[in-house]
Amino acid sequence: MEKAPYQLKSRGCDGRVSHERLKDRELDERKPDIILTNATDNGRRNPAANIEITVTKPIGLLELLLSELTGRSRNNIKSLLTNREISVDGHIVTQYDYPLSKGQIVRIVRSVKRGEKPKDLLRILYEDKELIAVNKPAGLLSVSTDRENEKTVYHLLADYMRRSTPKGRPFVVHRLDRDTSGVLLFAKNERIQKALQDNWDSLVLQRCYAAAVEGHLKEKSGRIHSWLRQTSTLLVYSAKNAGDGLEAITDYQVIEESANYSLVNIQLETGRKNQIRVHMKELGNPVVGDKKYGAKTDPLKRLGLHAYKLELIHPFSDTRMCFEAEVPDDLKALFKR
């Protein structure tokens, strides 16, 4: 395994270089924010009860909601705004007196119900006619396996898409491990799926992760360059000789430290199976909760790894697209002073 001094530069979606956004990342109010669930009511699947209002004249947002949602109290409507359940033209708005113009679209999305488990929920970060990006929770599979074919991101998205398009379904572009949370992108048709998969390495500009790891890294930033192989028991490791396996490159920078853990900003040059987990283990700082790769602690009761940003070039329009998912509160809480 090769390590070399390297100054990681993580360019934010707004075009500015920033590492501080990892510490107290706020959800970007410019992004659609929709909650899906596979929970049922009285044995029946409960579709998202979305409401859409077309603005017919200049008016304040709260005033519009009070006039349209006659069955709700003022406090109930305010809670919709507070809980980020109101969007205007696809952008989440929490401001009561937000000014609206004629022709704008206001949407209300169903709130999370009590008793639903976080891993049963998806939050849509972006959606258009060809692509849909979600914030995958830890514990939820990306796609089906022999043991699980219902509670997956793919299944939930397929159910969601068929509500508006009976034959609609998502097409897998890439995957995240079950216990890794964060940005996961799907295509809506086979044409763009193939274009993305066939040109993934050249189209992807940034894949950024936040990792909570055990202990303190000796070098606070660097590049790890190795060749990964896999044992018969599916354990991935770095080969001793260069070229003996799949090339894997991980850039990292320590963002913050607590007494026992480090918050690390990671940027992938390659996207191999278990790459981050293997490289952190081989530095002597395994990802928290990663018993498979040597972790001795599990403070989050899950893997401390979150894919917070995916930036790529659209294969047909050449548009630069950037999807971001807030670093989970439990992960950030490990570093609160």
Contact 183, 321 (CB under 8 A): no
φ and ψ at residue 80, rounded to 5 degrees: -60, -40
Q: Is 298 a catalytic residue?
A: no
Q: Is 283 helix (H, G, I), strand (E, B) or coil?
A: helix
Q: Tokens 């987990």 identify what position?
A: 277
Q: Secondary structure of the chain: what % helix, strand, coil (to 5)? A: 20, 35, 50
Residue 313 DSSP label: E
Query: If you search the block for the tokens 């299944």, which residue do you land on?
Result: 155
CA nearest neighbour of 226 among 163, 148, 285, 279: 279
H helix intervals, the chain? 61-68, 74-82, 153-162, 190-198, 200-203, 275-283, 329-333
Is the four-CA dihedral 214, 215, 220, 226 of positive or negative sign? negative
Separation of alpha carbons 291 and 209, rounded Å: 19
Which tokens sit at 127? Answer: 């959606």
For 29-67, letters b (16+ CB in 10 Å) and e give: eebbbbbbbbeeeeeeeeeeeeeebebeeebebbebbee
Q: Could you tell me the two tokens for 218? A: 């000796």
The length of the chain is 337
* E strands present in 27-147: 34-37, 40-41, 44-45, 51-54, 59-60, 86-88, 91-92, 99-100, 105-108, 121-127, 131-136
* Alpha-carbon span 296 to 299, nearest angstrom: 10
The residue from 14, 41, 177, 198 that is catalytic is: 177
Residues with catalytic roles: 177
